[in-house]
Amino acid sequence: MIFAIVAVALALSQVELDLPPLDAGKTTASVTGSSLIEQAFTNQQSDVQVEGSGTVTKLLADDLKGSRHQRFIITLASNRTLLIAHNIDLAPRIDALAVGDTVYFYGEYEWNQRGGVLHWTHHDPRGHHVDGWLRHHNRVYQ
């Protein structure tokens, strides 16, 4: 019963904020996002769709080779760090991003020895890949 009330409250708050809707599958992924990333890291898996959140610990220079990407590092609840590579040719840049901010994400995890990279945090203009997103200060970037 409590879970149903929380789910309804989340759904209503997202309508008011114009956030991507949560469905049962994404709610589960959100709760276990850090665990899914830990599992993918341990198993050296890539191409894993994950949802979660982390705290910005470092802002990096944009990657300007090929498609431009805003890059920053977040720390997850598990203390694992994750590089976010957000395509700013396809999605808006997060201009107000600062160290210490919380960022929520839905994208594709790629394994590397440093903790991994999250990309596909944007819509796919060709419609072949699951759309991802970043959320910062209740604004969605996709």
| Mean pLDDT score, 10-25 | 38
Q: What is the predicted pLDDT for the residue at 83?
A: 97
User: Of 45 and 11, which is predicted with more confidence?
Assistant: 45
| Contact partners, residue 97, CB within 8 Å, separation at least 6 | 56, 59, 70, 72, 103, 136
Structure tokens belonging to residue 139: 């604004």
Please write the tens of the pLDDT for every residue from 71-130. 999 999 999 999 999 999 999 999 999 999 999 999 999 999 998 999 999 988 888 889
Looking at the predicted structure, is the pLDDT value of residue 1 above 80?
A: no
Please write the tens of the pLDDT for every residue from 18-66. 444 333 333 333 334 568 898 999 999 999 999 999 999 999 999 999 9
Task: Name the fold adopted by 33-141.
Answer: OB fold (Dihydrolipoamide Acetyltransferase, E2P) (2.40.50)
Q: What is the predicted pLDDT for the residue at 129?
A: 87
CA distance 108 to 87: 13
Structure tokens belonging to residue 96: 């107000």
**For the chain, what is the largest distance between any 2 Cα atoms, rounded to a whole number of angstroms?**
50
The residues spanned by each domain of the chain are 33-141
Q: What is the predicted pLDDT for the residue at 22?
A: 37
* Count of all residues that appear for the chain in the document: 142
Q: What is the predicted pLDDT for the residue at 91?
A: 95
Closest listed residue to residue 119, CA positions, set 78, 76, 80, 67: 67
Q: What is the predicted pLDDT for the residue at 123?
A: 86
CA quadruple 4, 5, 11, 15: dihedral sign: positive
The answer to whether 70 and 61 have CB atoms below 8 angstroms apart is: no
